[in-house]
Structures are given as structure tokens and as C-alpha cells.
Structure 1
Amino acid sequence: MIHYILQILVVQLLFLLIYDLFLKKETFFNWNRVYLLMTSLLSFILPLIKIDVIKENIPEQYMIQLPAVLIGNVSEEIEGSEVIIKSSDSFFNFLTIARFSEYLWYTGMVISLLLFCYKLYRILKLKQTGIKTRVENFNLISLPNTNTAFSFFNTIFLGEKLSEVKKTNILLHEKIHIKEYHTLDLLFFEILRIICWFNPLVYVYQNRIAVLQEYIADSKAISETDKKEYYQDLLSQIFQTDKISFINTFFNHSLIKNRIVMLQKSKSKKIFQLKYLLLVPVMLLMLLYTSCAQDTSAQSKVMSENVDSPLIEKIQAVRHQIEKQGNVSPEEEKALKVLALLVTDDGFSNPHYEDVYGMADIPFGVIEKVPVFPGCENLSQEETKKCFSQKISQYIVKQFNTKLAKENGLTGYQEIGARFSIGNDGKVKDIKVKNKSKILREEALRVLEGLPVMIPGEQEGKKVSVMYKLPIKLKFK
């Protein structure tokens, strides 16, 4: 998820740079409106597109990879193929950080939603306090004792203190906002602000679309009134207006100068519309980036099954299944005891769980005393972990038959997700491998089954089974 968010930020930044440098000063207002709306959506879609053909034809030194949560790696060239092994002993730490980030995200969304509701409440309150009249196809709310002027959907709010001349020009301007459905644009970005409250570029997008809407309304309104009079209204006293991000405010001091400049500017030549073609290389660049990016969180997902499912839901499902069956089999009883062993503080010192010590797979990253690979004896805990990762990586690099590439026509990048346990007797068991190619799965299984017997891991002084995850990446030249 973090990697996906970073990609969104990169895409949005590039799109906004193109807009600010090449498009913002042009008078293709409607085209710019489409550009801002379309690119804001594309920024969420492009990172999800992965084109394998691009990835296979890019040299490895140009591949992009974010800092991994996995530790220990070995990379060697063997008979024209490259095999990279990465061992993961911090998987559960990664899940803890991911869960905290998820809660933080939800909290921010709730706060943003509450702020949005408060803004709506302020508008509704103004609607109730004002005098409502129906003019043409919109509602006009006259607000007492104020000089406010803005529109929201098909309702225009005007302060009673405004002069009749100003009201006429404002109505022309705000009617354009209503006819062009500008409120929908602003609400679209308001929704993005709620979901992506942490993303500053979404706020920039909303600001750009709000400014652009003023240009659109000015350009159309000025064709229906006296241009000089319209300029004078803009240059006259600037009225104070409450800042609500999804309403179209007529009076905005920081925008007045830019609006006048755009009104006086000659229409851009049609040849300048070719600037929009800049989107093509940028999109290709982003497809190149996203296709070559290595998402370490996705690697972790390969190594776990259903990690996105909330733990509570799984526990509830188990309880309902037991209630439905009415009893549990001996195998199911042992599995439940293993679960209780892992979550109970005194589990490994309780004789009640002694018969399932060998069944409890403790993650490599949290085991008190890790298994010892032959040749890694008499080292400290951290040194033993590093030695274990290095030895097992070297073993697989040496044993893996890379001639399979030539014999079976394999090309490009391949990744094998491997998971196994080192039992309380030191032997490798419960090997599981994932890959689309049956040949690579069988080869990985053969290599892992040949791992030597090790000194088993220990938890609270008891020999236990230790779970190990091993992503294996191959590049066939």
C-alpha cells in the first residue's frame, strides 16, 4: 500500500508540473478542466498497470526497488542466469507497522469527513437564515447583513449589502458555475481529500480546478455584460468571504489579479493544443516506472495467505464452525491447542501444551533462539541469523539448476515464493512453493528438500518448529 501511495504521488506531481509549466496560462479552459479531472483519476489507475513485456526488456540495473523489509540477500551469476535469494525474518514487524498505518489512515478519514459535514452544515444554516427566491432555473438566497457571494450546486448566495450593479455581474458569473456543474468538480476533489487526506497534491489539484473555474465563468460572463464595468467590479473593494473549499466564491482577493490578466489575454492559438500531447510520454514513462517497480509489500503478500483478513473475523469463523459441527476432531483439537500455545503468555511452560510444541511454527523473525545452519555454530543470536540467511542463500544458488532456462525456453524475470518449516528435530518440512511454472516449482521443491539437518530453534527453552519464508528471484538472460 505504501509503495502504491508513493507511486500516486510521483504520477500526480508529474501531471501537475506539466499543467503549471505548459497549460495553466493558456485559454483552453475547458481542455484544462478535462486535463485536471482526467489526470487526477489516472494517477490512481496507472500504478496498478503492470506490463510484463516492459519489465522483461529493461536491464536489471535500471529496475526500481523501494527499501525492503526483508533482510539478507545473496546475488551471484551462474551459467548465464542470475538467482537472487532474500530471506524474510521481519514479516510480522512489517504487518504491525502496516496495521498501525491503516488505523492512522482511517482516523484521518473520519476527521476529514467530519470537517466536510461541518462545512455542509454551515451552508445549510446560511440557506435557512436567508430569504429564498426562485430565479430562472436556480435558487437565490439573499443573506442579511453581509456582502458574501458564492454558489453551491443550483443555489446562489448573495449578501444584501451588495449594490444592484454588483449583484447583476455576480449573478451572470455564478450562473455559469451552475450551468457548467462546477460544484461537482470541487466535490470530487473533496472526496479525494477525505480518502487521501495525507496527500498534499490533492489539495493542489482542488486549488487549480477552483482557479480554472473562475476563468471559465469570467470568460463566458464577460460576453453578456460590459467589459469595463466587469473589470471595475473586480478592482473595487474586496469583500470578505468564508473559505469553504467546495463552493464557488466570487470574491477572492488572491485571484482578482489573475482573473483580470486572463480576461485581457488573447485566445491561445490552436497549435498550442499540441501541448496536451505531453501526456503521452509522461504516461509511457509512468507505465515504465510502475512495471519495473518492485513492491516489497507484494512480496510479503506472496508469502502469506489472507493477511488482509481481520484476525477477529477469522476467530469468529472458527467459532461458528465449531458450533456448527458440535465437536472437533483430534487433529482440529491439536490445531486449536497450537493456536492457544502461541497466544498464551505461559504457553511454553505449561505442560498442557507439551504435545504440540513440535507443531507450533514460530516465525523466524521472532523466535528466541533461531535454528542453526551447519557452519554457523557458536555465534551470537544476530550473527546466527545473518549466517543462516547467507548459508541458505549460498546453498540454493549453488544447487538450483539454472540450465532449466535454456532447456524449457524460460526468459525474463521469475519469482518463486517459498515457505517451509524447520522442525523441532532440525529437519525441513511443510515445504510450499508458488510460481506459475511447474518446472520451477518442482526444481525449488527439489532444492529445498535437500537442505541439511540443522540444530532446531528454541522458544522458552523448548525445541520448536520455526517457519521460514524465502522469495527466490531469477533472471534468465
Structure 2
Amino acid sequence: MIPYILYAALILSACLMFYKLLLQKETFFHLNRYVLLSCMLLAFVLPLIPVPQQLSFRKIPVKNHITISKAPLNKTETAVIKELPVQPTLVEETKQLINADVLLKCLVYLYWFGVVVFALNFLMQAVILLFRAYSTTVIQDGKFRIVEITGDKAPCSFGNNIFINPEKYEWETYNQILLHEKIHIEQKHTIDLLLAEMVLVFQWFNPFAWQWRKALEINLEFLTDDQMLQQDTVEKESYQFSLLKVAAPQFPLSLTTNYNQSLLKKRIIMMNSKKSNVHTTWKYFFLVPLMVIFACLFNQPAAQSQTLNSKEESKEDAGIQNGMKTDGNWFAVIKGNTIEITFKSDENDNSSSNFQLSEISSLPRDKQGEFTLTREAGTMLFKGKFEGDKGMGTYKFTPNASYSTAMAKESIDLKNDEDLMVFFMINIKVSYVQMLKKNGYDKIDKDQVIPLAALDVNEAYIASIKKAIPDIDLDDLVPFRSLGIDKAFIEEIRNSGYKDVSPGNIIALKSQGIDAKYITDFRSSSKNNSDENNVSNNNDDNDDDDDDIIAFKSLNIDKAFIDSFKAVGYNNLSNSDLIAMKSLDVTAEYIKSFQNAGFKNIQAENLIALKSQNVTPELIKEYKKLGFDNLDLEEVVGAKATGATPSFIKSMRAKGHDFKSLDRYIALKALADN
């Protein structure tokens, strides 16, 4: 058996790749949280579980019994044996084994040294947080403890403690930060982070473990943002503005993920992204076979003390599809040419489907009887009766053996009734699989066929999409169909400047509601920008535009907004400038107010800094009235940020501190705070 800790690292790494490829873009944040936590625990539990011998891919080592002859040796043979020299190769092999053993011991000592170091670091962080929580000023808000801190540290929470500097934020931003951190506390996110830190203690050497902690933390922020936007008192735009104010570049914050700028863009995009369709939840079920494969490949086989009888096994493996057994009760309502049938196998398992009346044999009216629904996968026998348009009774599904054989020839493995039940309910025909193969999709399994057939990804649709994207992947056809992406939409996107747009980009654009007109406006509004601008009409720069276009759409940055800045002389604004200015509500009117006050050609980054501190021309006039005529805007921003306000300066002058330089008052304020 491979070393336990390496096995755990392998599982964690595979689960992370699975999550990154299939799950991280889904908006099922609660489900993603449980997946991340479950996989983290499974990585350490799974290697300890033995698997049955018949399921294991590992061969049980066979012990060779050596028979020792008891025949006596004569003296001559004994003498020859004593005179045999020791083989040099045996000596060398012994030395190699000793060296390997020494190296292994060194690696073990190194590993445990790392564990001790990271464990001490973990304990120190916990002690420091607890010390800060219970040694400074605290406001008790129900079960929440608001710990007031100083300096430019980012707000965060630990346990039921919220660490925040109230002097740094406006009242609305302050309240939204508190609400955000209270959601973290109510949902016990600290437990998730503590578990992730404990994993890092034992997996400190594994880069995937560090990425796992980052993915877990990002999902917690997505989850909290989603909960925030469900509050009646929180507006999406206002909340996004608050996040940007907290993470403004003028405040170098400590390394906390809650409000760092690298994550902020992803959070804003995720907040404005389209909710994932429930049909995409099939991806999560692939985790189970992944874990089973790992167990069968690496886990120690266990000796079987007893074997299930094949008949008993087949009984226990009754066909179940999404909780729907192959027999049970039915309830039906006739609606025009269709009949809606609800299948009920026990108290908690219900499944409803609509069928055409033309598919069903004659219904028993006002008396007990039978009727059937036959499809390629099998036959459903219904017993019961209808009174008017409503009926009820019992059902039993009988699979079609020849259908399973035909599907097996197409490499679709349908060995049990549960698979056949799924194919029956969706009415997947053998010809449908043959059609997929005819269109170039030779390597296809049952789990791929199900969503394709359920969404009616037919031959005409595939042919149409392939005219636009000849090498379209089979898995991309599902989101394409569910989002209503057709050949016309793809061509419109390309005609707007995306000549080599990938399927992933098309899905992202469509889910955001971005069409060709929006992209055209995006490009035409920025075509006169300088070379350093992120927006470009060159196809080589298209890849750099994708995230910016999505961010523009989510923040409602349109042609009119960009043109409003051109009207006041800002023709070369970069995408990042526009995003920051929109987020902080820097408008053309705001710029005009400074221009009218005599401040011309203010750089975009300075405008963002001024707005982040709510500096207005009126405030600058107040400073000028105090005798500061040659003001530098950066000085004003620094003064406002440190609290060296006009009223503070007046109070200092009343005490005899009369300086001609604003910087002296900024320094004086800093000393007073300390």
C-alpha cells in the first residue's frame, strides 16, 4: 500500500482538478461547500477503508513456501559450501538498501518537522486572534462581538468575533460589512477554514492543498455574497460599491481573502452571473465513481468473510432512478393530448413526467383495468382506473433485453434496471446514440447521453452548431442547448470582432446576456483609446477583452457612460479605469465640478483616489480658506484619509500649532492618533 499521507495528497489533488474543471463555475454555492468539505475529509478517511477482494485492482501477494530438503550433506559438499566466496553484487545491493532506508528516514523526519512548524504557526494564529478578540474594545451585538481595531486592516471574522475599524468606513458601508461578516458567523464558516488549515498542517508539501484552501475560501465568499443579495435591505450595486471601497488601492490591506482585489473581480462577475440550471447537477454524481476508482486502485483488499447470494444481491439492487423504483404507485391527470403521471415508490420518492396520449394503450375508464406504455427501453404496465380525467393505481417496469444488447453494441453499458429506467423515461432510442456517433462522437457513455437527450440535442442542432464550430466538444452541447445558443448567435459574436472565440467564451457571454450589439458598442466606444488601453479592435487582443466585457456588462458600463467621459476630455481611459470609476460612482459631473474649481487634467487614478475618500471641490475650498493655496490633490487625499480635516486644523491652530504646510498637519494627526 502506498504511504498513507501520499495517498491522501493524491486524492485531494484529483478532487481539486475535478472541482476546478466541472464545479467551480456553478452557482450551487451551498452544494459546493459540502463537496469541498466532504472531499477534504474523504482524502484522509478513504485510504483507511479496505475494499472487497473482487472489487480491488490490486493483486493479493502470494506467499511462496520453500521446501527445505532434509537429506544429509556429505563432508565434501559441506566443505565446498564453506569455501564459497561472498558475491560482490550482494554486498552492493545491501549498501543500496541501507542508503535507501537512511534517505527514507530523512524524508520522514523532514515531513514531521514541517508538520510541527505549520502546527505551531496554526496555534500562534489562533492565539493571536483570541488575544485580540478579548483584549480590546468590544461592542456586544447579540451573539456577535464587534472588536474595534485601528489601522488599515481589512475587516474579518473569527468565531463570533468581527474585527473592524469603524473610522475607515461610511455608515452604509460599515453596516454592509457587519452584515457580511454576520453571515459568515451564522453559517459557521470559521469551522471550514479551521479544517482547511488543519489539512495544510499535514499536507504542507502539497501545492494542491494550498489551492484547495483558496478554492474553499473563494466559495465561502461567493456563498456569503449570494446571501447578502437576498437581503431586502441590500441593493446589488450598493453592495458592490461597498466592496470596492473596502478594497480600494489607496488602502494597502493585510493579506486577507475577504476583501483582496484579486478576488473582487471574480466576486462581482459571480454576483452578476446567471444562476446554474438544475440540470447541471449531474456533474456532482461523478465524484462517487472517482472515489470508488481510487479505492479499488490503491486500497488494501479485505478478506471476505461471507459472500452475498447472487439472487439476494439482485433483489437488493432493485432499479431506482432518482428515488424512483421500477414498481410502485401512480397518479395521473389528463390534460388535452398529454397525460401527467406522478410515480410514487414510497413516502418520500416522487417523480412526475408528461407523456403523449398517443403513446399509451386504451385507458380503463370507470373500472379497474390495465394499460401500457411501450418504448425501446422496455414496457411500463399500469393497473388501476380513471374517473374522468384523473386516475390512480400501481405500475411495474419491465426492461427490454434486446435494447440493452443493442446499446452494448454502441458501447453504452446498461447492465441494471436503474439505467434502463432512465433511458425509458427520457425515451432514448438506439438510433439517437447512432446519430451521435455518425456526427463524430465515437467515445460516448451513458452519462453523456442522458442530458443530451433530455435537452433534445438533435441532429439538426448538432449540424447547425458544427457549421460554426466544427470541433465542438460533446460536453459543450449541453450548456449550448440549455442557454439557447445557436449558429446565428455564434456568427453574430464573431462578426462583432471575436474571430476565434472558444465555446467557453460563448457560454460565458450568453449567460451574461451579452450580445453582438453590446460587444460592438464596447469596441466602437473605445476604438480611439491609446495603445495601453485594454480595449482593442485587433483580434490578437480579443482574449484580454473577455473578462472586461463581462465586467462592463455586470456594472452596466455602456457607450453613453464612456462617451460622457470623452465629453470632458478623457479619451484614453483604460478598461480598469472605467471599471473602477463606475464602481466608485466617478461620473462626468464629478469631474466637471473639479474642472470648474480650477483643477484641470486630473489623472484617472487621482480621480479614483479622490472619490474613494469623498473629496469634493467644496472640501478643497475649505482648505484654501485656511491658507493652503497651492494644494496638491494627493495631499488632500492623504489629509482626508488620516483625518486631518479643516476642523482638526482649526483646533490645532487654536492650540498654537500654526503651520503653512498641510503635510505638517497630516503628520501631527498621525502623532495624535498614536
Please, what TM-score do these two structures have when normalized by structure 1? 0.51
Deviation at 1:55, TM superposition (A): 6.7
C-alpha contact 2:12 2:43 (8 A) present in aligned 1: yes
Deviation at 1:45, TM superposition (A): 2.5
* CA distance in 1: counterparts of 2:116 and 2:27, whole angstroms: 38
Gap change, CA 1:265 and 1:4, over 3 Å in 2: same
**The residue matched to 1:157 in structure 2 has which SS?**
strand
Alignment match of 2:283 (pick from 257, 275, 293): 275
* CA distance in 1: counterparts of 2:53 and 2:255, whole angstroms: 49
* CA distance in 2: counterparts of 1:102 and 1:16, whole angstroms: 25
Deviation at 1:57, TM superposition (A): 6.9
Gap change, CA 1:22 and 1:292, over 3 Å in 2: same
**The residue matched to 1:268 in structure 2 has which SS?**
coil
| Counterpart position of 1:240 | 252
* CA distance in 2: counterparts of 1:171 and 1:57, whole angstroms: 53
Deviation at 1:118, TM superposition (A): 3.0
**The residue matched to 2:146 in structure 1 has which SS?**
strand
Which structure ranks higher in relative contact order (CA pairs < 8 Å, sequence separation ≥ 6)?
A: 1
Matched, 1:200 2:207: yes
% identical equivalent positions: 31
Q: Give the letter aligned to residue 149 of structure 2.
A: L
Matched, 1:285 2:275: no
C-alpha contact 2:225 2:271 (8 A) present in aligned 1: yes
Larger radius of gyration: 2
Q: Give the letter aligned to residue 141 of structure 2.
A: V
Equivalent positions of 1:10-89 (< 5 A) are 10-54=10-54, 89=94
* CA distance in 1: counterparts of 2:49 and 2:127, whole angstroms: 40
* CA distance in 1: counterparts of 2:187 and 2:267, whole angstroms: 18
Equivalent positions of 1:15-414 (< 5 A) are 15-54=15-54, 89=94, 92-127=98-133, 130-146=136-152, 148-159=154-165, 160-224=167-231, 225-236=234-245, 237-238=248-249, 239-243=251-255, 249-291=257-299
* CA distance in 1: counterparts of 2:145 and 2:218, whole angstroms: 24
* CA distance in 2: counterparts of 1:190 and 1:125, whole angstroms: 19
Deviation at 1:221, TM superposition (A): 1.1
**The residue matched to 2:53 in structure 1 has which SS?**
helix
Deviation at 1:182, TM superposition (A): 0.4
| Counterpart position of 2:580 | none
Q: Give the letter aligned to residue 10 of structure 2.
A: V
Where does structure 1 lack aligned partners over 5 or more consecutive residues?
Answer: 65-86, 294-477
Q: Give the letter aligned to residue 135 of structure 1.
A: D
| Counterpart position of 1:305 | none
Tell me how large the CA RMSD over aligned residues is.
Answer: 2.8
| Richer in strand (by share) | 1
Please, what TM-score do these two structures have when normalized by structure 2? 0.37
* CA distance in 2: counterparts of 1:266 and 1:259, whole angstroms: 13
Matched, 1:9 2:15: no
C-alpha contact 1:186 1:210 (8 A) present in aligned 2: yes
Q: Please give the per-residue CA displacement for 1:47-100, whole angstroms capped at 9, x wherever unaligned.
A: 333435347777x8xx99xxxxxxxxxxxxxxxxxxxxxx98465544433332
* CA distance in 2: counterparts of 1:119 and 1:144, whole angstroms: 19
**The residue matched to 1:98 in structure 2 has which SS?**
helix
**The residue matched to 1:140 in structure 2 has which SS?**
strand
Q: Please give the per-residue CA displacement for 1:348-399, whole angstroms capped at 9, x wherever unaligned.
A: xxxxxxxxxxxxxxxxxxxxxxxxxxxxxxxxxxxxxxxxxxxxxxxxxxxx
C-alpha contact 1:49 1:290 (8 A) present in aligned 2: no
**The residue matched to 2:230 in structure 1 has which SS?**
helix
| Counterpart position of 1:317 | none
Q: Give the letter aligned to residue 285 of structure 2.
A: L
Where does structure 2 lack aligned partners over 5 or more consecutive residues?
Answer: 62-89, 302-674
C-alpha contact 2:8 2:47 (8 A) present in aligned 1: yes
Deviation at 1:128, TM superposition (A): 5.4
Greater alpha carbon shift after TM alignment, 115-124 vs 279-288: 115-124
* CA distance in 2: counterparts of 1:148 and 1:161, whole angstroms: 10
Deviation at 1:2, TM superposition (A): 6.0
* CA distance in 1: counterparts of 2:3 and 2:39, whole angstroms: 19
Q: Give the letter aligned to residue 121 of structure 2.
A: L
Q: Please give the per-residue CA displacement for 1:298-356, whole angstroms capped at 9, x wherever unaligned.
A: xxxxxxxxxxxxxxxxxxxxxxxxxxxxxxxxxxxxxxxxxxxxxxxxxxxxxxxxxxx
